[in-house]
Amino acid sequence: MIDLIAFDADDTLWENENYYKEAEQKLAGLLVEYHAREFIVEELLKTEIRNIAAYGYGIKSFTLSMIETAIELTGGKITAAQIQKIIGFGKEMIATDVVLLDGVWETIQALSSSHTLIIITKGDLLDQERKVARSGLGDYFKSVEVVSEKTSESYARILAKYDIAPKLFLMIGNSLKSDVLPVIAIGGAAIHIPNSTTWAHEAVSEEESRKNNYYELDHLGQLPEFLNKLSER
């Protein structure tokens, strides 16, 4: 039996990574006179990963990484007007409507009547709270937990907060690295719902994924029926 179900937010409940990829291409277009598009995107990823410790996750961090990458790749020749354009790319992302993935609305509505639901997500607190409000799903969740990293320790702290044993906890998300493996490590259950646009930083090796027992669904709309079968079994 599951007492608490947690959902990742970005690319599990709503579209997210595709907006980052669009911004990457805008940056590449801005700097294409200096380097090839593919190289620019690769260097941006390196900068993002390097900056996680300082800035964390989210659009603000991403925008700062775009600016830093632009300065480095142009040898400092980037103009103030071009930097202003990059800031605009970030603001456009923040203003983007929240688009729910297929089956999310019906699934969350159905499960909220039988289970306690929460969101556990990384990212900027203000931006994630804004997305939850825009999604229209806020009333179905008991709380929204925004963490700096999704580790076994951070999941354990959240479960202690709700006084839930790991064996009664289910986490659902699109990232094996963040949503699945840390939960399995503390004795919880996890469902992986792959997304074609999952961030490269969240990838794990096939060997690592095979070491762990977790469930996988094609889309969130399959979740209610899956939980019914799991309960019966």
Domain of residue 26, CATH code: 1.10.150.240
Q: Look at phi and psi of residue 76 and say left if phi exceeds 0, alpha if psi is from -120 to 50, else beta.
A: left
Residue 216 pairs with which residues in a beta bridge?
A: 192
Q: Which of 179, 181, 183, 175 is nearest to 203 (CA)?
A: 175
End position of a domain, from candidates 55, 72, 95: 95
pLDDT in tens, 9-65: 999 999 999 999 999 999 999 999 999 999 999 999 999 999 999 999 999 999 999
The token pair that represents 141 in the structure block = 């969740």
Q: What's the pLDDT band for 2 if we cut at 50, 70, 90?
A: confident
Measured distance CA(122)–CA(10) in Å, rounded: 9
When computed from its CA atoms, the radius of gyration of the chain, rounded to whole angstroms, is 19
Q: What sign has the CA pseudo-torsion 111, 220, 147, 26? A: negative
**pLDDT tens figures, 148-206:** 899 999 999 999 999 999 999 999 999 998 999 999 999 999 999 987 666 455 555 55
Range of the domain at 135: 4-15+98-232
Contact by Cβ (8 Å): 12, 179: yes
Q: 147 with 170, same domain?
A: yes
| Beta strands, E only, 148-226 | 169-173, 189-192, 215-216
| Tokens read off for 6 | 């947690």
> Residue 134 in contact with residue 98, Cβ under 8 Å?
yes
Q: What is the mean pLDDT of residues 206-232?
A: 78
The answer to whether residues 138 and 27 belong to one domain is no
Extract the tokens encoding 225: 């029926």
Q: How confident is the model at residue 129 (pLDDT cuts 50, 70, 90)?
A: very high
- Look up the CATH number of the domain holding residue 157: 3.40.50.1000
Q: Do 112 and 208 fall into the same domain?
A: yes
Q: Which amino acid is at 156?
A: A
Residues 109 and 61 in one domain: no
Please indicate, yes or no, whether residues 110 and 173 belong to a single structural domain of this protein. yes
Are residues 131 and 177 both part of a single domain?
yes
State how far the Cα of 25 lies from the Cα of 93, in Å rounded to an integer: 13
Main-chain phi, psi angles of 112, to 5 degrees: -65, -20
Q: Assign 214 a pLDDT band (cuts: 50, 70, 90).
A: confident
**53 and 164, same domain (yes or no):** no
Q: Quick one: 122 and 220 in the same domain? A: yes
Q: Which of 122, 124, 52 is nearest to 90 (CA)?
A: 124
In the chain, how many domains are there? 2
- 144 DSSP assignment: E
Q: Same structural domain for residues 22 and 133?
A: no
Structure tokens at 219: 């889309």
